Chain A
Amino acid sequence: MSWRRPVLVVTAAVVMAAVVAPVWAWARSTASGAETNTFATHVFLAPGQPVCSGLGIVTVTLTWSAPSDSAQVLGYELGVSTTSGGPYTYSNVGTGTSTNTGVSSGNNFFVVRSVNHLWRGPNSAERKVVSLLGLTASCP
C-alpha cells in the first residue's frame, strides 16, 4: 500500500515593498528638456570702398562708410600696396571713417578693414590713387 501524497510546492517570495519600490525607482529621472546654449562669434563686414575726399601734394584724404556692424568695430586699418590686390601694408588709422595719408610716386592701392582687438574684418573694395611725379595725387 503506497501513498501518493500530493506534492505541494509553495513558493512564496515575500519582499517588503519598502525595499523593492525604491529599487524600481532607479530608472533615472532625466531632464524634461535639456538646455541648449549656442554661442557664435561675429563675422566682420567690410567697410565701404574709400573715396578721395581731398587731394593734396603727395597726400590724399580717404573717406569710407562704416559697415553695418559698426557697433562691433573698435577701429580701422588702412592698407596700401603698389600692386592691385596686394599684399597690403596696414596701419591703424583710429576709429574715424576718414584719414589723410601720404602717397608714393606711381600707383597706390588703398583698402580699409575693421579692427576689434586682434580680429580683422575683410578688406573693402580697393581705391586707386595715382601720384604724378611724386608731387600731386589724383584719384581716377
Chain B
Amino acid sequence: MKWKRYRPVLAVLVLAAVASTSVGVTLALYSNKPTGETNTFVAGTVSLTNVATGACLASTNNMAPTDSNSCTLASTYAGTLSGYMALDVFIATQKNTTAGGTGATDLYNPGDTTNEAQITVSSTTPTVNYVVAGGSPTSFGTAITCPGAGSSLDGNSYTSYDKCYLLSNLLVSATAFSSGTVTFTTAITLPSTQPNTYQGSSAVVVLAAHAVQSKNNSINCAAGGTSPTAGAVCTPAGSFAWS
C-alpha cells in the first residue's frame, strides 16, 4: 500500500446517538469545528396556582378592638416534578397620628406584643403555623426598607409606609409535594387592651407561595439541615436552592 504525502485530509464522521429513557434528547454531531448545535431538552415542570379566597379579597377596613378577620390563599401544586413549597410573607404597616395622637403606633408593632394586631399565618394540608405576632414560631425580626413597586412581592409600592417586614422561604413541608392544595390563612385580631394609639393604623400582609423541584435538589436548610421544621425559615444550605 502506497501513501502519498499531503494527501487530502481524511474525512471522518463520528455519529453519536444517545437516547434518553425519560426525556427526549437530540444530540448534535460533534466535530472539531462545531459551527452550532441544537440540543433540545424537555424539562419537567414545577407549577403553582394561587387563588385568593375568603372574606377579605378586598380591603378589610374599620376594624376596632376585639374585631377579627381572616383571608385565605389556596396554592395548588400541579407540576410534573415533585417539589418543595415555601411561603414568603411581607408586612407593611403604618400609624395614624391624627386618630392615634402624638403617640400613634403602627398596627403591626413587634415592640408591643400584647397590644399589637395579632397577625398569624397558618396552613392546612399540611397544618403548619408560620408567623405569629410575638415571634413564635418565627419572628419577623427587624424592619427592612419598605420596597417600591419594582421589588415588592405583589408589585405594589410600599415606600409610603412606616415600617416593613419580610420573611422569605418559610418551609411548608420537608416532604416534597407531587400534587395537592395548601390553604394558607392570614388571620388578624385586635386585642381589647389595644390603646387608642392604634386607632386609624393599618397593615398590609402579602403572601406569596413558591416551589422548586426536589429531584436532585434535596432539602437542606441552614436550620435543621436535611430535616428542617415546617413553618421555619429555610435558608438554603449545601447544594439545595430555592431558585
* B-binding residues in A (CB < 8 A): 1-4, 6-14, 16-44, 69, 72, 116-120
Q: B173 an interface residue at 8 Å Cβ cutoff?
A: no
Q: Could you count the A-B residue pairs with CB atoms below 8 Å apart for me: how many are there? A: 210
Closest residue of chain A to B107, judged by CB? Answer: A41
Offer 19 A-B interface pairs, CB within 8 angstroms, sorted by A. A10-B32, A11-B30, A11-B34, A17-B20, A25-B45, A29-B46, A30-B48, A33-B52, A35-B71, A37-B207, A39-B56, A39-B59, A39-B69, A72-B62, A116-B64, A117-B193, A118-B192, A118-B195, A120-B199
Binds A, one of B3-11, B133-141, B227-235: B3-11
Cβ contacts under 8 Å, A23 to chain B = 216
Q: How far is the CA of A13 from the CA of B39 in the complex (A)?
A: 11
Q: How far is the CA of A8 from the CA of B10 in the complex (A)?
A: 10
Q: B202 an interface residue at 8 Å Cβ cutoff?
A: yes
Closest residue of chain A to B87, judged by CB? Answer: A31
Contact with A119, one of B23, B64, B69, B107 (Cβ below 8 angstroms): B64
Known contacts A14-B27, A16-B20; decide if A38 and B202 are in contact (CB<8 Å).
Answer: yes
Q: How far is the CA of A89 from the CA of B95 in the complex (A)?
A: 27
Cβ contacts under 8 Å, A3 to chain B = 3, 5
Q: Which of B65-99 contact A (CB under 8 A)?
A: 65-66, 69, 71, 73, 75, 79, 81, 83, 96, 98-99
Q: B12 an interface residue at 8 Å Cβ cutoff?
A: yes
Binding site of A, secondary structure by majority: helix, strand, loop or mixed? loop
Q: Lowest 9 A-B CB distances belong to which pairs?
A: A28-B243, A40-B202, A34-B208, A117-B65, A17-B23, A38-B59, A17-B20, A34-B154, A17-B25
Cβ contacts under 8 Å, B71 to chain A = 35, 37
Residue interface bits B17-43, CB-to-A below 8 A is 1, else 0: 010111111010011101000000111
Closest residue of chain B to A40, judged by CB? Answer: B202
Q: How far is the CA of A49 from the CA of B150 in the complex (A)?
A: 48
Interface residues on B, range: 35 or more
Contact with A42, one of B6, B27, B46, B64 (Cβ below 8 angstroms): B64
* A-binding residues in B (CB < 8 A): 3, 5-6, 9-10, 12, 14, 16, 18, 20-25, 27, 30-32, 34, 41-50, 52, 56, 59-66, 69, 71, 73, 75, 79, 81, 83, 96, 98-99, 107, 117, 119, 153-156, 184, 186, 188, 190, 192-196, 198-213, 215-217, 241-243
Q: Is the CB of A17 within 8 A of B24?
A: yes
Q: How far is the CA of A17 from the CA of B24 in the complex (A)?
A: 7
Q: Is the CB of A31 within 8 A of B63?
A: no
Cβ contacts under 8 Å, B10 to chain A = 6
Known contacts A18-B21, A25-B213, A41-B107; decide if A35 and B207 are in contact (CB<8 Å).
Answer: yes
Q: Is the CB of B206 within 8 A of A21?
A: no
